[in-house]
Each structure stands twice: as structure tokens, then as C-alpha cells.
């Protein structure tokens, strides 16, 4: 599988290089189950947009940018499914060795978590990490989600249920 985020160093000029990628989930080699605890999740809704500026100063490569995408989550409080727009900043720094002669057609060995491999800069692990770190531990469909009634299971975001909490007895429909 071709990794679009494996960038040949030869394509990066000194100074700023602006790169944008529009990726599908399969490009990221991510399994939705890897990220979401609920196996029924279809995590991504639409593409994953990666906007990067790679600043090359001598042997130094500074990567900044953002990873943005829409994802489907399940609220930890009321169990509803909702969609959320993520826009995660990324930053990383690499130090290249003196450039080796190009060997066209030869892909580098994938021996570790990415970064620099010979004449290639692999930013896929950085993007994957940003997505992993952004997954909320206890997603909330909204900050004030009221959750479900412990008695009848009604979704309290849609209004009060028939159960009467002790201590707050009020006539309904007043
Ligand atoms: Zn909720
Ligand atoms: Zn209830």
C-alpha cells in the first residue's frame, strides 16, 4: 500500500514547503476498532484533511500543521451517536543526515515508528498519533448532556420523563 505521507526529502526545498493531503481512513492504516471502543463505530465521516508546513533549514526539518476530520462518536452519558469536527494541531522536528544518493524505486524499510528513513520523511505515525490522542475518553454529545433516567431509561435531553425524582415533586403540566 502506498503511504501518501511518506515524503521524499528531495521534494522539500530549503525554506517553507506547504503540503496538503486529503486522505481516506484506509490511507492511514487505521482500523476503526483500534480507536473506538465500540466495535460498531464507523469512526470517520468523510476524509481526513492534513495541512502541513515543513520548514527546512539546513539539515533541520520542522513540521507544523493540523489534522482535521469529522468523526462519529457515542456519548458516554446518553449513548446517542453524534458527529464531531476535530482539528488537531501537529508539530514535530527531525534532523536529517547528509543526503544519500537517490535510489529510485527503492522504498525504505519500515523499521520503527516513522520519521526519517534515508531519503524519506514518513509523517504517517505523527498523523496517526494525533488522531489517537484526540479520541475523547468519555465523549459527550454536548457539555450539559443530561443522560438517561436511571429508572426508566428515557433520554432526559428530550425532556423530563414520568419518573418523579424524590424531593422535587411537582405536578406535571402546570
Ligand atoms: Zn449525550
Ligand atoms: Zn425516568
Q: Do 133 and 170 fall into the same domain? A: no
Residue 25 lies in a domain: yes
Distance 168 CA to ligand 2 centre (A): 14
Which one of the ligands is nearest to 140 CA? Answer: 1
In a domain, 153, yes or no: yes
- Looking at the structure, do residues 119 and 36 belong to the same domain, yes or no? yes
Select the highest-mean-pLDDT range: 106-115, 124-133, 141-150. Answer: 141-150
Query: Would you place residue 169 in the very low, low, confident or very high pLDDT band (cuts 50, 70, 90)?
Result: very low
pLDDT at 27: 84
pLDDT category at 40 given cuts 50, 70, 90 is very low
Q: For residue 76, give the ligand nearest its CA.
A: 1
Q: Is the pLDDT of residue 136 over 80?
A: yes
**Do 108 and 67 belong together in one domain?**
yes
Residues 76 and 160 grouped into a single domain: no
> Residue 168 is placed in which grid cell?
422535587
Both 139 and 160 in one domain: the answer is no
Long-range contacts of 99-104 (CB under 8 A, 24+ apart): 99/9, 99/10, 102/10
Q: Which ligand is nearest to the CA of 156?
A: 2
Distance 149 CA to ligand 2 centre (A): 4
**pLDDT value, residue 110:** 45
Ligand 2 centre distance from Cα of residue 92 (Å): 50
- Domain extent, residue 135, equals 6-143
More confident residue, 137 or 70: 70
Q: State the distance from the centre of ligand 1 to the C-alpha of 49, rounded, in angstroms.
A: 27
Amino acid at each position: 500500500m502506498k503511504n501518501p505521507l511518506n515524503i521524499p526529502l528531495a521534494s522539500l526545498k530549503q525554506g517553507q514547503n506547504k503540503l496538503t493531503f486529503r486522505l481516506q481512513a484506509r490511507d492511514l492504516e487505521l482500523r476503526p476498532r483500534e480507536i473506538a471502543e465500540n466495535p460498531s463505530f464507523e469512526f470517520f465521516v468523510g476524509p481526513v484533511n492534513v495541512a502541513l508546513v515543513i520548514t527546512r533549514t539546513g539539515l533541520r526539518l520542522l513540521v507544523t500543521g493540523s489534522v482535521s476530520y469529522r468523526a462519529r462518536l457515542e456519548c458516554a452519558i446518553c449513548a446517542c451517536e453524534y458527529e464531531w469536527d476535530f482539528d488537531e494541531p501537529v508539530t514535530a522536528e527531525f534532523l536529517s543526515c547528509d543526503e544519500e544518493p537517490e535510489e529510485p524505486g527503492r522504498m525504505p524499510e519500515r523499521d520503527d515508528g516513522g520519521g526519517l528513513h534515508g531519503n524519506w520523511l514518513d509523517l504517517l505515525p505523527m498523523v496517526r498519533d494525533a488522531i489517537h490522542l484526540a479520541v475523547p475518553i468519555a465523549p459527550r454529545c454536548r457539555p450539559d448532556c443530561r443522560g438517561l433516567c436511571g429508572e426508566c431509561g428515557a433520554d432526559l435531553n428530550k425532556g423530563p420523563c414520568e419518573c418523579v425524582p424524590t424531593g422535587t415533586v411537582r405536578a406535571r403540566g402546570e
